[in-house]
Amino acid sequence: MDMFDELYKYQPIATKIVQNAYRQKRVAHAFAISGAEETQLHLFANWFMAVFSCENNDDGFPCGECVHCKQILKDEYIGTYIIEPDGATIKKEQIVDMQKQFTTYGLTQGARFYVINQAHTMTISAANSLLKFLEEPTSNVYALLVTKSPDMMPITIQSRVQQLQLNIMGRELIIKKLVNDGHSERLATIAYELGYEELNEEAAAQLASLTEAALIYLGNIDVAQINPLVAQMDLEAQVKNKSQADNFFTILLILLNDILDVKSGKKETTLFGIDDIEKKNTIKTIAEKMDTIITAQKYLHANVSSNLALSLISLRWNAQKEGE
């Protein structure tokens, strides 16, 4: 499968605009790329560079396999200069350094690109320095200003770049994409709710392990009727730090919301195959459990240890069971 196939599927308008400009040899020297999720923005920027650098370009379709395409996909292309925010902003010195680099390597063959990620964070002095560069375009040099907030860039910059607004994929499309990548619908749903747009092998394994741990934890408490504090002991291998605890709490919320959707009549059966747990709960008990998890997450974010936050859930759930 071509590395860029998903762009043609999910971003047909933006890709056609660039391809038509390439074919007609009427390409703007600066673009603001915005609108989509971060991975789509990054992939589109790489695809744009590949269009103008590919050794086997087929009428605006880069091959994705030649040396230049592979270098671009690995962020190793020699003709690329990437700027990221230094702290909270992109500073004038960063733009000046980039200009020096392009002057020093002016004899580099082929297309050259400078990519400014989170371009809306440029300071006024940085934007003014960039403006001078934009007003004196060099042949075969392209500026890619990647941003989720193009309106926050100075008007003087906005007026000198071509806007490329990408489609926001949305929940259904991202989950469908993850499923097409080979992940189960359950894992894809978990990944989306945790903010993932794509999953590598390691991340997929970690999420699958945490999801299984959450399912066992809920099953032990509600079906096997094990004391929540005892059930918590089985989590030590999967929930080792605050990041994992935060994800674990969110997964618990997703599972309980799955049950709540059945209880409220939104669907007939649970996505995660936890109908046995659903039967052991009422809307009231689910709401109480979700409220406890949200409270534990707040404590976790306030620098309480993951163990203490987990214990809070177990203690409150145990008290709720004894009060039933």
Q: Determine what percent of the chain is predicted with pLDDT higher than 70.
A: 96
Please state, in angstroms and as integers, the Cα–Cα distance from residue 88 to each residue in 35, 123, 212, following that order: 21, 10, 38
How far is it, in rounded angstroms, from Cα 67 to Cα 75? 12
What pLDDT, on a 0 to 100 scale, did the predictor assign at position 170? 72
**Domain 5-168 classification at class level:** alpha beta
- What is the phi-psi region of residue 139: left when phi exceeds 0, alpha when psi lies from -120 to 50, beta otherwise? beta
pTM for the whole structure: 0.62
How far is it, in rounded angstroms, from Cα 159 to Cα 155? 6
- Least confident window among 147-161, 266-280, 310-324: 310-324
Chain mean pLDDT for the chain = 88
What pLDDT, on a 0 to 100 scale, did the predictor assign at position 324? 61
Q: Is the pLDDT of residue 229 over 90?
A: no
Q: Is the Cα dihedral 134, 140, 141, 145 positive or negative?
A: positive
- Least confident window among 3-12, 42-51, 262-271: 3-12
The DSSP bridge pattern shows strands 162-165 and 30-34 to be parallel
Q: Do domains 5-168 and 200-323 have the same CATH topology?
A: no
Segment 257-262 shows an average pLDDT of 91
What pLDDT, on a 0 to 100 scale, did the predictor assign at position 105? 59
Domain map (residue ranges) of the chain? 5-168, 200-323
Q: How many CA atoms lie within 13 A of 202 on its CB side?
A: 0
* Residue 192 burial by Cβ neighbours in a 10 Å radius (0-12, 13-18, 19+): buried
- Alpha carbon 173 to chain centroid, angstroms: 13
| CATH architecture designation of domain 200-323 | Up-down Bundle (1.20)
pLDDT, tens digit, for every residue of 266-301? 888 899 989 889 888 899 999 999 999 999 999 999
What pLDDT, on a 0 to 100 scale, did the predictor assign at position 1? 42
Burial 228-247, CB ≥16 within 10 A → b, else e: beebbeebeebbeeeebbbb
- Going through 148-245 in order, the beta strands assigned E by DSSP cover 162-165
Q: Is the pLDDT of residue 60 over 80?
A: yes
- Least confident window among 2-11, 190-199, 254-263: 2-11
- pLDDT tier at 2 (50, 70, 90 boundaries)? low
- pLDDT tier at 259 (50, 70, 90 boundaries)? very high
